[in-house]
Amino acid sequence: MSFSSRVKEELSRQISPARHCRIAETAAIISLCGKVKIDEEDRYSIHISTENAAVARKYFTLLKKTFNISTDIVIRRNAYLKKNRTFMVTVSEDGDARKVLLATKLLDKHGEIGENMSVVGNLVIQNPCCRRAFLRGAFLAAGSISDPEKFYHYEIACTAQAKAGQIRSILSTFDIDARIVQRKKYFVVYVKEGNQIVTLLNVMEAPIALMELENIRILKGMRGSVNRQVNCETANINKTVSAAVKQIEDITYIRDVMGLDQLQEGLCDIAKLRLERPEATLKELGEALDPPVGKSGVNHRLRKLSILAEELREKSRTSEMQSGGSE
């Protein structure tokens, strides 16, 4: 089961004790994945369609506990995708459908339904607890959340820009900065920041998913810290090895051209020691000298050897050019 499915499963079992919150959640589900049909005799029916069994179960429970009405549930299978099931939950009785639509404010007193079943300015989300319930219902109906092991992404897909705008404004009341992007025929409200998704799970009242996400974030943070430390140490090792290789090349050249015994005592000692211990650090080289020398002193001597080696190479190049010219 995906992380998104686990979140929906947890939310589906979260039934608010307050009737007004259950109404707000019902309003969100109908608005985002439902349809209202009116037949030629002016009779209403409500239909929701979802591929998630947890969402269908939650909607069924909300209607039963809040309105004490029965619904018809039909499961349809895609003939081409055997695993793909669609759950159709229908309130077919006109009186029951009107009761639900009036309570959720999707139907006004004149029997009119707002365009796209808009919930903008809907009185059922005036209280903070109801806004929490509404967001819970919206996520169940049309939301998804990515696997936090890979990346952080939370979204709710809306069929109308007004709905997306309202969800974004509701999120802002909880200090969550959501964005909206149009994706084909949908307006998608999304959040990509880990801290804000943690806040969202808390707002929707999904504590188990919240703890799972927090644990993953902690582990990812630790892995990132360890990786940075290893990369830093690896870079330092590479730098040290490269410097040692260059030092040995310079000392070997000096030895072959003029001999190490021709060097000053301090330079001769460090040159021989570097050839004997090519893997040693500057600190280890300094401690091996008699008397011991600090890192800066060792580095100073090795720089002198490097300069001397370059001077000898330059003299060799000049001599070769002069020899070539005289021929």
**What's the full length of the chain, in residues?**
327
Mean pLDDT of 319-325: 72
Please report where in the chains the tokens 């759950």 appear, as a residue. Answer: 87
Residue with more model confidence, 314 or 116: 314
Q: Encode pLDDT of 132-150 as tens digits.
A: 999 999 999 999 999 998 9
pLDDT score recorded for residue 235 = 80
272-301 burial, b if ≥16 CB within 10 A, otherwise e? ebbeeeeebebeebbebeeeebeeebbbeb
Distance in angstroms (rounded) separating the CA atoms of residues 109 and 266: 100
Average pLDDT, the chain: 87
Mean pLDDT of 279-292: 88
Please report where in the chains the tokens 């998913």 appear, as a residue. Answer: 209
Q: What percent of the chain has pLDDT over 70?
A: 92
Which residue type sits at 22? R
Q: Encode pLDDT of 175-231 as tens digits.
A: 999 999 999 899 999 999 989 999 999 999 999 999 999 998 888 878 777 778 888
C-alpha closest to that of 136 among 156, 165, 120: 156
Peptide bond into 291 cis (omega under 30): yes
pLDDT score recorded for residue 325 = 57
Could you tell me the strand order of the sheet in which 85-91 lies? 34-38, 44-50, 85-91, 72-77
Phi/psi at 153 (5° precision): -160, 125
Which residue type sits at 323? S
Mean pLDDT of 33-58: 89
C-alpha closest to that of 299 among 259, 244, 255: 244
Which residue type sits at 12? S
pLDDT(115) > 80: no
pLDDT(117) > 90: no
pLDDT score recorded for residue 144 = 95
Tokens of 251: 């000392």
pLDDT score recorded for residue 27 = 92
Residue 162 is given by DSSP the state: H
